Structure 1
Amino acid sequence: MKKRDAKRQAILDTAYRLFQAQGFDQTSVSEITAQVGGSKATIYSHFPSKEELFVECMMAATEDYILSIIPSLETAEADPEVALRDYGRRFLGYVCSPDIVAVQRLLIAEANRFGIGKLFYDKVTAMRAHVSALLSRFMASGTLRSDDPQVAAEYLRAMLEAEYLEQLLFCARETALSEDEIAAASERAISTFLRAYAPAASVAETH
């Protein structure tokens, strides 16, 4: 995990717990300071505003996933089926995990507050660039048909999330996904994506 100094980590851990329990509005910098120790100046020396602290808390919750997935995307197999099936299982397991579902609910609730939604979206978009880069390599090599890799990355994400994410976000489903469910849903999504972006020659061979 990325090393942070102990005070910064303590601030993030405390703020994350309070934000989850109370929401953004009911959590004050004074309360965070009281639990962490020190002064408000210490908090603001690490985070320019409460909004920035909130976004950093949400991003910290995703950090382990980000740090594990980016190297695998950069060194992915030349075969898109192998690479994307591996990515699909990892992504779906992450985005539908109880902790990350809770983070998404909190972000949706606070998205319109002082640009919080845009701050988080900009950070996540930077991460998604690695997926776009992987798809761009496959398109350049001819193993996927040529198209806009950024749009393709968004379609890929949407396909992976389609079956279960809304059920979890809106509490229509109370139990976490099993590994078998994650694997099966990921397989269906990746198979659909690969058919949609198959090279022209491959499509012609199926007709």
Structure 2
Amino acid sequence: MWRIDFFLDNGYENVSMNDIVKHAGGSLATLYKHFGNKEQLFIYILEQKSEEVFGEWGRKSVCYEGRIEEFLTETGRMFLDLVTTPDAILFHRLLISIGYINDSRLNKTQIQNLMSVPVIIIANYLENEKVNGHIEVEDTYLVAEQFLNAVKGPFLFQTILGIQIDISEETRLKALKQVVTIFCRGLHVIQ
């Protein structure tokens, strides 16, 4: 199956449908029949990757009812493990480069929706905790965004820019523990 690596290695704008056929095999007609264009193929690949990475994560969240600190720690750990991989760094660079191409036809709304999947998973979990009386918070979606931004903040932007920083597991876990502590205290966790 076609993978996003070709886009990562060559840049979205530098890859044509002909390049994809040459790399992956098959026929150009079949590729157009199934996906219509490069944009829809790219979106399809992102959707498949999103399900692969986040599908199980979302399904597991129901197992953490009433255990907010554990949920945030496990979710934050998985998120940090994901966003600090070399492929994730390349992917973010690719998305940034696409965002700066003014005439890009890529549907940025679809990309944003796919990138919001981890936020939605956390927001849904927090909403359930709110309904069950375990936390007091007004906007669970905003809290989820703030949490993930706080988790990735010390690591992602610098690595996207190519700045060498310590992203060891020990450093990531130390930062994560601090973020989880701050968020649990700020959420008024009721136990």
* TM-score of the pair, normalised by structure 1: 0.81
Alignment of structure 1 residues 183-194 onto 2, 5 Å: 183-194=173-184
Partner of 1:124: 115
Render the CA deviation track for 1:28-60: whole Å, top value 9, x for unaligned. Answer: 101211232332121122212211222333444
The corresponding residue for 1:76 is: 64
- Choose which of 8, 17, 20 in structure 1 pairs with 2:8: 20
Aligned position for 1:205: none
Match of 2:139 in 1: 148
Change (3 A) 1:17 1:126: closer
Q: Which residue of 1 aligns with 2:158?
A: 167
Q: Using a 3 Å threshold, how does the CA distance of structure 1 residues 115 and 30 change in structure 2: closer, same or farther? A: closer
Which residue identity does 1:192 align to in structure 2? I
| Structure 1, unpaired ranges of 5+ | 1-8, 203-207
- The alpha-carbon deviation at position 132 of structure 1 amounts to 0.9
Aligned counterpart, 1:4 = none
Note if contact 2:123-2:140 (Cα within 8 Å) is conserved in structure 1: yes
CA contact (8 A) 1:58 1:103 kept: no
Give the deviation of 1:109 after TM superposition: 0.6
Q: Check if 1:136 corresponds to 2:124.
A: no
The residue identity in structure 2 corresponding to 1:107 is: L
Structure 1 residue 120, shift from structure 2 partner: 1.0
* Cross-structure match for 1:6: none
Write out per-residue CA displacement over residues 74-95 of structure 1, whole angstroms, 9 at most, x where no aligned residue.
Answer: 3224221111111111111111
**Aligned residues: percent identity?**
23
Q: What root-mean-square deviation, in Å, do the aligned CA atoms of Structure 1 and Structure 2 show?
A: 2.2
One-letter code aligned to 1:183: L
Q: Hey, what's the Cα distance between the residues in 2 that align with 1:127 and 1:82?
A: 16
The higher radius of gyration belongs to 1
Contact kept? 2:77, 2:176, Cα under 8 Å: yes
Conserved? CA contact 1:101–1:169, under 8 Å: yes
CA distance in 1 between partners of 2:30 and 2:47 (Å): 20
In structure 1, C-alpha distance between the alignment counterparts of 2:50 and 2:176, rounded to whole Å: 20
Higher RCO (CA < 8 A, seq sep 6+):
2
Runs of 5+ consecutive residues of structure 2 not aligned to the other structure: none
2:149 is matched with which residue?
A: 158
Question: In the TM superposition, what is the alpha-carbon distance from 1:168 to its structure 2 partner?
Answer: 0.9
Judge conservation of contact 1:133–1:149 (CA < 8 Å) in 2.
yes
What is the aligned length? 188
